[in-house]
């Protein structure tokens, strides 16, 4: 009897040990971006996806959907779609998220950040943490910073070197009330429209000018849309933010959360370094296509700063005085 029991027990143990281990679950997540891999913005998302797949050994896949296709081209709906769980993740623009998160309007305040060191002083310091906390409170987990770059202004009429040059200029701007206030303060005639609609409008002369990072001007060949005059005025910078819907975040293990976050940090740092390193070549390519490039003197730059001060009076309370003060202090001490 004892031998029989031993044989049965041995058989059971063998059967148990022969049972295959259940493979870890593989998951795919959607990632929204506004621009494709032809631009640094899209490259940031692609790098994030690459690092996540590599580090998870293929267990986690990020599928990137460029051109705001997950929100039918309406990029201002990206944040709310991610918050509700319709979009899993995004590499998004502070401009596009500003209607849902007033604090990110900080980066659209005119002439707040004169250079990259000022941008870094904000994003990598207390002010950046305050912005991330504001995003987190609204249903999206912010993981890391990327870069869309300083937005410069171009037009078809002539050189822009002082506020008076913008008087009556029809300028295409993104759908942000702060942008409208800034250009109205400068005497321009701002017109909100999508970039898809902007290029034909610029070509036909229905609109005189536009403002965008140099990489967008270059890849989109804005010079073909009669944009022959470009002014480097650094009037605002649009950092990118790697974010995850809280609904998705809560389903991830602590290890996978750490993996996604570190991959986002590394992808963001890679993209920031790459996009900054390419700026001189991009600017040279633009010049070689016959575009007249104007760089403002300190005195000319200050004239634009002075002309837009009333925008601060209106928007500082909306953004949060403490946040604006913290950012300005960080820039001062950079």
Give Cα separations from 198 to 146, 204, 208, 209 (angstroms): 25, 10, 10, 9
> Taking 80 as the threshold, does the pLDDT of residue 15 lie above it?
no
User: Please, which residues have CB within 8 angstroms of residue 211's CB and are 6 or more apart in sequence?
Assistant: 151, 152, 153, 154, 171, 172, 173, 235
Lowest mean pLDDT segment, chosen from 8-22, 114-128, 193-207: 8-22
Look at residue 18 in the predicted model and tell me its pLDDT. Answer: 37
Average the pLDDT over 273-280 and give the result: 96
Q: What's the mean pLDDT when you consider all of the chain?
A: 93
pLDDT in tens, 119-170: 999 999 999 999 999 999 999 999 999 999 999 999 999 999 999 999 999 9
Q: What is the DSSP letter of 99?
A: T
pLDDT in tens, 206-242: 999 999 999 999 999 999 999 999 999 999 999 999 9
Distance CA 109, CA 176 (A): 11
Domains and CATH numbers, the chain: 28-332 (3.40.190.170)
pTM for the model: 0.90
Distance CA 82, CA 140 (A): 7
Kindly state the percentage of the chain with pLDDT values over 70. 93
C-alpha closest to that of 49 among 65, 64, 36: 64
> Taking 80 as the threshold, does the pLDDT of residue 13 lie above it?
no
Look at residue 24 in the predicted model and tell me its pLDDT. Answer: 61
Look at residue 8 in the predicted model and tell me its pLDDT. Answer: 43
Lowest mean pLDDT segment, chosen from 8-12, 36-40, 96-100, 187-191: 8-12
pLDDT in tens, 44-100: 999 999 999 999 999 999 999 999 999 998 999 999 999 999 999 999 999 999 999
CB 124 within 8 A of CB 273: no
CB 107 within 8 A of CB 330: no
Look at residue 152 in the predicted model and tell me its pLDDT. Answer: 98
Query: Nearest 5°: CA angle at 108, between 106 and 113?
Result: 80
Tokens (6 digits) for 119: 């941008």
Distance CA 133, CA 142 (A): 8
> Taking 80 as the threshold, does the pLDDT of residue 282 lie above it?
yes
């Amino acid at each position: 009897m004892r031998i029989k029991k031993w044989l049965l027990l041995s058989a059971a143990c063998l059967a148990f040990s022969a049972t295959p281990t259940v493979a870890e679950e593989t998951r795919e997540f959607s990632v929204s971006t506004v621009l494709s891999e032809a631009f640094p913005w899209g490259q940031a998302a692609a790098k994030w996806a690459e690092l996540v797949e590599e580090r998870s050994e293929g267990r986690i896949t990020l599928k990137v959907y460029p051109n705001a296709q997950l929100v039918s081209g309406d990029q201002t709906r990206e944040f709310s779609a991610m918050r509700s769980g319709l979009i899993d993740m995004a590499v998004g623009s502070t401009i596009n998220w500003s209607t849902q998160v007033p604090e990110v309007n900080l980066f659209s305040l005119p002439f707040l950040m004169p250079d990259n060191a000022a941008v870094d002083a904000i994003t990598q310091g207390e002010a950046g943490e305050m912005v991330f906390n504001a995003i987190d409170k609204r249903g999206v987990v912010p993981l890391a910073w990327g870069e869309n770059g300083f937005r410069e202004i171009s037009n078809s009429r002539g050189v822009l070197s002082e506020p008076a040059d913008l008087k009556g200029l029809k300028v295409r701007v993104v759908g942000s009330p702060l942008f409208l206030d800034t250009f109205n303060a400068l005497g321009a005639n701002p017109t909100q429209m999508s970039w898809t609609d902007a290029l034909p409008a610029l070509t036909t002369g229905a609109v005189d000018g536009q403002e965008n990072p140099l990489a967008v001007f270059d890849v989109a060949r804005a010079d073909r849309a009669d944009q022959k005059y470009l002014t480097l005025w650094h009037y605002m910078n649009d950092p990118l933010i790697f974010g995850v819907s809280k609904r998705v975040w809560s389903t991830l293990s602590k290890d996978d959360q750490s993996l996604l976050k570190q991959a986002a940090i590394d992808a963001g740092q890679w993209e920031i370094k790459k996009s900054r390193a390419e700026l001189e070549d991009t600017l040279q390519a633009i010049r070689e296509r016959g575009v007249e490039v104007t760089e403002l003197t300190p005195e000319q730059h200050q004239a634009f700063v002075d002309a837009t001060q009333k925008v601060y009076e209106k928007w500082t309370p909306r953004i949060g005085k403490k946040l604006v003060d913290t950012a300005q202090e960080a820039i001062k001490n950079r």
